[in-house]
Amino acid sequence: MKREGDAWKVAWDGQTVLPELENGNKLVLHREAPARGNIYDREELPLAVEAVVVEIGIIPGEITDEEAVIARLSSALRMPRELIRLKIADSMPDAFVPVGETNADDIPGGHESLAALGGVYVNTSTRRYYYGGGVGAHVVGYTSKISAGLLEDYQSRGYSGNETVGATGLEKSAEPDLAGQQGGTLMVTAADGTTLSVLAKADPKPANDVYTTLARDLQAQIERTVLGPYSGAVVVLNRNTGEVLAMASGKRFDSNLFTPGSYNGAYLVQEILNDPDGPLNNRAATGSYPLGSVFKIITMAAGLESGLFTPATVYDDVTGIYVGADGVERTDWVLEKEMQPHGKITLEQCLVQSCNPCFWNVGETLYKQDPMAIAEMAAAFGLGSATGIPGLDEFAGLVPGPGGAAWNVSHALDQAVGQGSLLVTPLQVADFVAAVGNGGTLYRPQIILSIRPPEGAPVFTLSPAVRGLLPLDPENLEALQRAMRGVIYDPKGTARARFAGISGSVKIAGKTGTAQSGSEDPHSWFVAYTYNGGASKPDIAVAVIAEYAGEGSAYAARMVRRVFEIFFFGRPLTLFPWESEYGIRATDTPEASPTPAQEN
């Protein structure tokens, strides 16, 4: 011991611990990290791999043959020509404009031939590559250097602090598998760096690869062509297992730009971070929205299970106006469309035609008998709690009810048609729609199909997980299914016109929804499931929300139809009214919808 000032300290040097540390010798640890694991889709197509990445940009004023540049870049990047044309037209002549990146192996003629084009600039580096401009970016995620705030945590797990690690999505949640286990050599070196002795050595443990449930081509086509100019989300589930086949959020972003060393990222990352539309948000799992008329599925279920209603219970909608016990006059959407009230209509037809006064009546009747009836049914459908999807962050949503703040008949009437303070995620909605379609089983959505080492058996293999059963008698569940089929096939169904030409070859059941958004334009919802029972293609459930777009039948229903076209036929088959070509915006205003294909 020795005294320094007012303190006693242990007197020691390196030789006290290790005699070899004499004459300036040092203890050195050389780390050896395995290659990062890859991320694949369900068909073993790459989503995130190590590759020679070619980043491509242009300076418009230096382009000598615009059509040749557009054609070559479109082929190399699998990008619509019109998008490249717009990038050129919207940029200053002397500005560098990042266009995209691709795997060097995927460029016809090699990247050198691109650099030979006037006005085209390429940068190459070997690093993490996300296929197709980051297909499934909100699910797959991206990597980054360890931030100062996380340094201590990672060092406690054996990292040096200089590594590139998963920052979001599966890259982050599956980091222990994708990173593998570092090895290293602990040695004593002389002052000049010469190795004097090796004290210990451990080989690195290879990383595991992650195979997702995503279908890459489906995901890519949905991202490119479904939401278009609208923010929102698309979720596609295997109806009978809960496997996520596609999960897209708009606006999308290119995860390659966040990879350390990205040349184009230096120009674009800050723009993404500052975008008020929040392109990094996984709206499918963390976006929270009112559900609008899609919630009528749950209200109908609660009404049937209460014993106060049957599918054949008649409501006489004489005026299209409903005055509840709160004295508020509520007007049905048909009057806003200058259409006739529904007249005498059964509960089943109320769902087919989305009759608001009918569901206000159900809500008020249930409120008088059991104020918790609808909220409890919503909870049984999985709303108000996280789905439990492994590997992704999610929002639990909110199902209001008498147990919370002051609850009165006005709240109950709003809740009956999916308004008020109810909040859901598109993932939750797709999940309960799948349960209605598959006979009542609420599966936990899953995104990881398997995790596999380079050799040997998988360390994880997906097994469908049941998280609940819809509390419906078989005849009541059948009534819901019948009504959702009627939305598509009944002459008065709110989405019949939208699915003409496809509903003969694909059996579809669905529900329109238009949810108040707090602004002039409402959120557009459509949900659907298929019941083909085919061997080659599984039945699927789909939920689409387009934020601030308009009516459910005018926008989201069209988008769900396109999902079915891509899934069952391999590509889009019908243009949206607001498109000039698939995925290219022409106008915001859709064509007028034939009655009764519009609803609130």
CB 342 within 8 A of CB 316: no
pLDDT (tens digit per residue) in 156-210: 998 999 999 999 999 999 999 999 999 989 999 988 888 888 889 988 999 999 9
H-helix segments, 90-150: 111-115, 131-134, 137-140
Q: Does an H or E element contain 56, and which?
A: strand 46-58
Per the listing, tokens 């990290």 go with 33
Alpha helices, DSSP H only, in 13-107? 14-17, 66-77, 81-89
Give 575's pLDDT tier (boundaries 50, 70, 90): very high
d(CA 25, CA 498): 78
How much is the average pLDDT of 537-552? 96
Q: What is the pLDDT of residue 447?
A: 98
Please answer whether residues 309 and 296 qualify as being in contact, where contact means their C-beta atoms are separated by less than 8 angstroms: no
Nearest to 250 by CA among 207, 270, 280: 280
Residue-wise pLDDT for 28-77, tens only, equals: 888 888 999 999 999 999 999 999 999 999 999 999 999 999 999 999 99
Nearest Cα residue to 290 out of 411, 436, 425: 425
Q: What percent of the chain has pLDDT over 70?
A: 96
CB contact at 8 A, 48 and 130: yes
What are the pLDDT digits (tens) for 418-465? 999 999 999 999 999 999 999 999 999 999 999 999 999 999 999 999
Structure confidence by residue, pLDDT tens digits, 295-329: 999 999 999 999 999 999 999 998 999 999 999 99
Residue with tokens 């990222």: 265
Give the pLDDT mean for 408-417.
Answer: 94
pLDDT of 15 reads: 64
Distance (Å, whole) CA 436 – CA 300: 12
59 to 63, 142, 268, 595: CA distances (angstroms): 7, 28, 15, 50
- Partners of residue 469 on adjacent β-strands: 441
Exposure string of 275-300, with b = 16+ CB inside 10 Å and e = fewer, is: eeeebbbbbbbbbebbbbbbbbbbbb
Whether this model's pTM surpasses 0.95: no
Q: What is the pLDDT of residues 81-135, one digit of tens each?
A: 888 998 999 899 999 999 999 999 888 888 888 888 999 999 999 999 999 999 9
How many Cα atoms within 13 Å fall on the side-chain side of residue 573? 14
Nearest-angstrom CA–CA distance, 200 and 179: 22
In contact, 209 and 404? CB cutoff 8 Å = no
The Cα 150–Cα 16 span in angstroms is 33
What's the pLDDT score for residue 597?
41
The rounded percent of the chain whose pLDDT value lies above 90 is 79
- Measured CA distances, 322 to 17, 238, 334, 461, 598 (Å): 85, 39, 13, 53, 20
CA dihedral 338, 511, 347, 296 (to 10 degrees): -100
pLDDT above 80 for 588: no
Q: Are 166 and 159 in contact (CB under 8 A)?
A: no
* Dist. CA 237–CA 245, nearest whole Å: 5
All structural domains of the chain: 292-585 (3.40.710.10)
How confident is residue 598, by pLDDT bands cut at 50, 70 and 90? very low
Q: Which residues, other chains included, contact 19 with Cβ-Cβ below 8 Å and sequence gap of 6+?
A: none
**Contact (CB, 8 A) for 556 and 487:** no
- Please confirm whether the linkage preceding 596 is cis (ω < 30° from 0): yes
Would you state the pLDDT for residue 16? 65
Q: What phi and psi, each to the nearest 5 degrees, are found at residue 584?
A: -115, 125
Integer-rounded Cα Rg, in Å, for the chain is 29
Q: What is the Cα–Cα distance from 552 to 357, expressed in whole angstroms?
A: 19
Strand partners for 527: 511, 543
Q: What does the pLDDT read at residue 404? A: 58
List, as one string, the DSSP characters of 298-323.
Answer: HHHHHHHHHTS--TT-EEEESSSEEE
Structure-block tokens of residue 544? 């689409």
Per-residue model confidence as pLDDT tens digits over 372-389: 999 999 999 999 999 999
Q: Could you give the CA distance from residue 563 to residue 569 in angstroms, rounded to a whole number?
A: 10
* CA gap 424, 447 in Å, rounded: 20
DSSP result, 536-561: SS--EEEEEEETT---TTTTHHHHHH
The pLDDT of residue 12 is 63
Query: Among 476, 494, 475, which Cα is nearest to 352's?
Result: 494
Q: Each residue of 157-191: b (16+ CB within 10 Å) or e? A: eebeeeebbbbbbbbbbbbebbbbebebbebbbee
Could you tell me which residues come within 8 angstroms of residue 308 by beta carbon, excluding any fewer than 6 positions away? Answer: 365, 366, 369
Assess whether pLDDT exceeds 80 at residue 595.
no
**DSSP letter, residue 185:** E
Least confident range of 133-142, 371-380, 394-403, 553-562 = 394-403
The C-alpha atoms of residue 96 and residue 92 are separated, in whole angstroms, by 9
pLDDT in tens, 472-527: 999 999 999 999 999 999 999 999 999 999 999 999 999 999 998 888 899 999 99
pLDDT of 3 over the 90 cut: no
Per the prediction, the chain carries an average pLDDT of: 92
